[in-house]
Amino acid sequence: MTKNIPILKEVTEANSLLADGLRAAFAQNRVLVLNIIASPGAGKTSLLERTIEQLNGELQISVIEGDPTTSIDAERIAAVGMPVVQINTGGGCHLEARQIQRAMDQLDVSNADVVIIENVGNLLCPTGWDLGEDIKVVVASLPEGDDKPLKYPMAFLTAQALVINKVDLEPYIPSKVAVMRENALRINPDLAVFEVSCITGQGIQEWLDWIRGELTRKRSAVK
Amino acid sequence: MHEMPVTQAFLDMALEHADGRRVTDIYLQVGRMSAIVPDTVEVFFEYLSKDTLAEGARLHFEILPVAMTCQDCGRQLDLSEWSDDAPHIIMQKAFVRGCECGSKNLRVTGGVTFGLVSIDVEPGEDH
């Protein structure tokens, strides 16, 4: 005779508990943490490079880079002159809280203003794994197709901000910025949307202002 | 591919709750928007549970439908007529039609999670 044991928990609960611990530690350091999610090639690292270059001297930014393999992205960030830790997932398709916890051993965030986590390029898997971030940012580039939000609703549903990248290519491709924006806002009307080009610099200032605002907001909430 | 870490996660939870007893059945709830494929979970489970007390356990999947709620009147929308459509098609149709109160301010409020409901265990010596 078997016995039924009720559990009633999210499968990812262990990860979420660890992430809550990280979030508390980040709050104590008064650090704003962003988790950047996008498909491969959307321009996550390019957005990071522009962000760091522009905020250099104003804000101290630390970066955690997640990739299946190689330290190419970490080298790109280090070249811009910010502390960076590379996590190689060994083929794993997303980052988990325990990897962030381990990265913290190598990254001193006591003087940091902002920690940016670049997740593994993937629009499906990272959405269910809390990393202790304050804000999930989804980056979608225009050439990927303006129907991207409809195909990967979870990424857009769980994010608080959307960066539409490569908008300078609009004249040359069928995909339209307005359509991508509309599709994303249908799924999540609360999204803060930024239309940027990391090549021309278009829209980057609005994105930076938003980061500044979120940092101020967090710091006034955590006294 | 992404089913592997979630399979490991519920296997760990099941073994912890089983506390040394053999697990015969595992009851799971899969939201239609969760992007979890039960067949793939089965494959990883067979591999990951080998030589554990959950080896050979049967997996039971209850599929949870997409649920949407109107942000203006608070009603949960009746999406049953589209239940055979893909989740993103259901969302698209819902946004076009809107709520019966006329609002199109809708949110997805269900069908997004992957949960472990319960497990069946064989009686152990000291339980």
Q: Residue B10 and residue B14: Cα distance in Å, rounded? A: 6
Assess if residue A20 is contained within a domain.
Answer: no
Pair A113, A214: CB distance under 8 Å:
no
> Taking CB atoms and an 8 Å cutoff, what residues of chain B touch A14?
9, 12-13
> Taking CB atoms and an 8 Å cutoff, what residues of chain A touch B88?
150-151, 153
Mean pLDDT, all residues of chain A: 94
Distance of CA A93 to the CA centre of its chain: 15
Q: What is the ipTM for the molecules in this complex?
A: 0.86
Domains in chain A: how many in total?
A: 1
Q: What is the pLDDT along chain B (127 residues), one digit of tens a residue?
A: 689 999 999 999 999 999 999 999 999 999 998 889 999 999 999 999 999 999 999 999 999 999 999 999 999 999 999 999 988 889 888 988 999 999 988 888 999 999 999 999 999 866 5
Q: Given this model, what pLDDT does residue B127 score?
A: 56
> Taking CB atoms and an 8 Å cutoff, what residues of chain B touch A187?
91, 108
Q: Do A8 and B123 touch (CB under 8 A)?
A: no
Pair A208, A55: CB distance under 8 Å:
yes
Pair A155, A138: CB distance under 8 Å:
yes
The conformation of residue A108, written as its DSSP 8-state character, comes to: -
Name which of A11, A94, A191 to mutate to probe chain B: the one with the most chain B Cβ atoms within 10 A of its Cβ.
A11
Q: Residue A130 and residue A12: Cα distance in Å, rounded? A: 9
Q: Residue B13 and residue A67: Cα distance in Å, rounded? A: 27
The pTM of the full predicted model, rounded to 2 decimals, is 0.90
Assess if residue A1 is contained within a domain.
Answer: no
Q: Which of B17, B115, B120 is facing A2, going by the closest CB pair?
A: B120
Residue B14 in contact with partner chain A when CB distance is under 8 A: yes
Q: Residue B36 and residue B30: Cα distance in Å, rounded? A: 7
Q: Given this model, what pLDDT does residue A82 score?
A: 86
Residue B18 in contact with partner chain A when CB distance is under 8 A: yes
Strand-pair partners of B64: B31
Q: Residue A94 and residue A154: Cα distance in Å, rounded? A: 14
Cα angle B40, A124, A170; round to 5: 140
Residue A161 has φ and ψ, to the nearest 5°, of -140, 150
Pair B107, B68: CB distance under 8 Å:
yes
Closest CA to A138 of A153, A155, A119, A118: A155
Pair A184, A175: CB distance under 8 Å:
no
A152-170 pLDDT, tens digit each: 988 999 999 999 999 999 9
The nearest alpha carbon in chain A to B13 belongs to: A11
The nearest alpha carbon in chain B to A150 belongs to: B88
What single letter denotes the amino acid at residue A36? I
Assess if residue A83 is contained within a domain.
Answer: yes
In three state form, how does the secondary structure of B12-60 look?
A: HHHHHHHCCCCEEEEEEEEECCCCCCHHHHHHHHHHHCCCCCCCCCEEE
Q: What is the CATH number of the domain that holds A100?
A: 3.40.50.300
Task: For residue A119, give both structure tokens.
Answer: 């997740």
The nearest alpha carbon in chain A to B9 belongs to: A11
Bin A146: left if φ > 0, else alpha if -120 < ψ < 50, else beta. Answer: alpha
Assess if residue A22 is contained within a domain.
Answer: no
Q: How far is A199 from chain B (nearest CA, A)?
A: 32
> Taking CB atoms and an 8 Å cutoff, what residues of chain A touch B25?
2
Q: Residue A133 and residue A112: Cα distance in Å, rounded? A: 14
Assess if residue A27 is contained within a domain.
Answer: no
Assess if residue A6 is contained within a domain.
Answer: no
Q: Given this model, what pLDDT does residue B1 score?
A: 63
Q: Residue A57 and residue A54: Cα distance in Å, rounded? A: 9
Q: Residue A113 and residue A111: Cα distance in Å, rounded? A: 7
A168-181 pLDDT, tens digit each: 999 999 999 999 99
Which structural domain range is residue A88 located in?
34-218
Pair A196, A207: CB distance under 8 Å:
yes
Q: Do A186 and B18 touch (CB under 8 A)?
A: no
Residue B100 has φ and ψ, to the nearest 5°, of -65, -15
Number of cross-chain residue pairs from A and B with Cβ atoms under 8 Å apart: 95
Give the start-to-end residue ranges of the domains of chain B. Answer: 3-65+111-121, 67-110
> Taking CB atoms and an 8 Å cutoff, what residues of chain A touch B116?
7-11
Q: Do A11 and B116 touch (CB under 8 A)?
A: yes
Q: Do B2 and A9 touch (CB under 8 A)?
A: no
B67-83 pLDDT, tens digit each: 999 999 999 999 999 99
Considering the four listed CATH numbers 3.30.2320.50, 3.40.91.50, 3.40.30.10, 3.40.50.300, the one that applies to the domain covering B3-65+111-121 is 3.30.2320.50
Assess if residue A49 is contained within a domain.
Answer: yes
Assess if residue A46 is contained within a domain.
Answer: yes
> Taking CB atoms and an 8 Å cutoff, what residues of chain B touch A94?
2, 5
